[in-house]
Homo-oligomer: A and B are copies of this chain.
Amino acid sequence: MSATELHEAIAHKKARREKYAQWEFLRLTDKFHGAARGSVCIEDKVLYGYPSIGRILRVETGLQHQFRAPFWVEEKVDGYNVRMARVGDDVLAFSRGGFICPFTTDRATDLADLRILDEHPDLVLCAEVAGPDQPYISGHPPYIQEDVQLFVFDIMRVGEPRYLPQREKHELLKRYGLPAVQHYGRFNTNQVSEMRALLMRLTEEGREGVVMKEDSPRDHRAKIVTSYSCVDDIRGTVDHLRDLPAEYFTGRVLRLALFLDEQGEQRGDELRQQLGSAFLDGLFHAIDQSKQERRVYRTHRCRFRDPENARRLLKHMKRADGHLHVTERGLEKAGDYYVLEFDKLHAGMSGLLGHVLGGGLVFD
């Protein structure tokens, strides 16, 4: 993407100028000329966005229909997506949407030894950040008990929209000792029973699913999630059901049914119980919270090196989602870190529950 194209994107309202600390940059708010939403241009470097990967809901036909060659299988980690790159003297972490993430940028040096970006300033690390102590999402893998961890899953070059080939990526990950997503090997499209067995194991381990990457020049990709993930997503978000698109929930129920049907688990009563509980227990929690505190919210907690970045995070969150009401609870020094606590108010759910618990009418 050239500077001319970026200015054209601005003219078409597909890009915006952003400021963050001393940095000024451009961010694609929509896909444009083949570049994904979230592509950025900073200090004359173009960092392409990480496009969303299509999902298959059936293993057997999905593998056969999607792949023309063997494919690599990697864990899909339940976290948020970042791209990390060297810009001037700093390493910056960009969110999916192309914002500089104050939290991930602050903690970049904790998350990995980033010598790779000193020695190869033209590389971009594409990674998932996951764990209980982060500002964005509610779920996290059960094997991360505190704070956050980084899991690199792709490496790109500045100015290029493609990923490094799998073998080159592995070589770099190994040489620089970078934390990476789990690799489950190279499968072919006939290995349906192996893939089903893997997904059953991942469900038992509480993992989200896998991303499959074709070992061919076209590097075609697809993802599939476990039944654990479908139920866990519902359990983790139903307390603010009215603040999410209703399709978030129906889509997960549908995925679950298709997954169970293929696994031959139509008759299992345990999942029925788990699905019903996922919906009801989270709602009971929200109802209790509304009764006791007259609002539905969730408290987030995250550690920073620099308290200024904590302030930037709050500012960023207030801006990024107009519906989200963010209230600081405190910012306190604890050891080497500053611990920020803040509440995210779920305005839609707070309003609805307040209204109906008070005896109000609804029309539908």
A residues near B, CB below 8 A?
52, 54-58, 60-66, 222, 238, 241-242, 245-247, 249-251, 253-254, 256-258, 260-261, 266, 269, 271-277, 279-280, 283-284, 287, 352, 356-364
Contact = CB atoms under 8 A, between A and B. Distances in A.
A284 B261 CA distance: 7
A55 to B, nearest CB: 5
A278 to B, nearest CB: 8
A275 B280 contact: yes
21 contacts: A52-B363, A54-B361, A55-B363, A56-B356, A58-B359, A60-B359, A61-B358, A63-B359, A64-B359, A65-B360, A242-B250, A247-B364, A251-B364, A258-B283, A258-B356, A266-B280, A273-B273, A273-B276, A275-B275, A275-B279, A275-B280
Contact of A361 (B55, B247, B359, B362): B55
Identify which of A54, A254, A364 gathers the most chain B CB atoms within 10 Å of its CB.
A254
Nearest to A241: B250
Contacts of A357: 58, 61, 258
A298 B257 CA distance: 20
Contact of A61 (B246, B280, B283, B359): B359
Contacts of A362: 54-57
Given A61-B358, A276-B276, 13 more contacts: A55-B363, A57-B356, A60-B359, A61-B357, A66-B361, A249-B249, A257-B287, A260-B284, A261-B284, A271-B280, A272-B280, A274-B276, A275-B275
